[in-house]
Amino acid sequence: MLKAMVTGGNRGIGKAIAAGLVAEGMQVWIACRDVDSGMVAAAEIGATCVPLDLSAHDLAAQDLTLPPELDEVDVLINNAGVLFEAPLFSVDARIEECLRVMVLGPYALMRRARGGMAERGYGRIVNLSSGWGSFGEGLGGPGAYGVAKAALNALTVAAAREMPVGVKVNAMCPGWVRTQMGGASATRSPEEGAETALWLATLPSDGPTGGFFRDKKAIEW
């Protein structure tokens, strides 16, 4: 049985991805900082919740307590994200927190999971990005969000080059999804937003790596 971890899997797209992986027959851990809601979500979909707060650590000192389950993970979904509606150069942009949660946190998780994936000769890593992190689409979004997602895209390309044989790393844009972040007016359900992530999480051996996708099709960086 394959084992998967989804960060920020207690709600929205992350929860939909976690549910989809459970449906694929995987053992799934939801990693989130709100453990109470994580426990509820995990019980609903047949997963397990583990605590992880990517914003509460000193990444310069590599001071991040990671779930030990990462050593067993075959599929890692870096879904956790934050969005602050503030100009880039204002204190409310909270750029350090954006980078911790959406760049440095995924880096630390990939670094930890890499060893076990190498031993087993198999791994699928999916980084939840956004069209707002695409230079080809204008690098949009408020404040630090697009900057962090662009950095996550760069991390995806670099990580894919250095992963062992059998491990694939890709980024994806879920589109505009009805979540706490996307709002009620968004055009897609969490399940629709999760589709490309689930495709990348279950790629065959000849599937792509180091790519950026929306609706299962490559898009511009």
Please list the active-site residues.
145
Beta strands in 173-210 (DSSP E): none
For residues 30 and 47, give the distance between their C-alpha atoms in angstroms, rounded to a whole number.
7
Could you tell me which of 162, 161, 72 has the C-alpha nearest to residue 117?
Answer: 72
The type of residue at 36 is D
CB atoms within 10 A of CB 9: 32
Two tokens at 208?
């792509």
Residue 21 neighbours by CB under 8 Å, 6+ apart: 4, 6, 28, 75, 77, 198, 201
With CA atoms as reference, report the closest residue to 176 among 109, 83, 110, 38: 83
Element at 10 (helix H, strand E): none
Name the burial class of residue 206, with classes exposed (0-12), middle (13-18) and buried (19+) by CB atoms within 10 angstroms of its CB: exposed
Secondary structure (3-state) at 209: coil
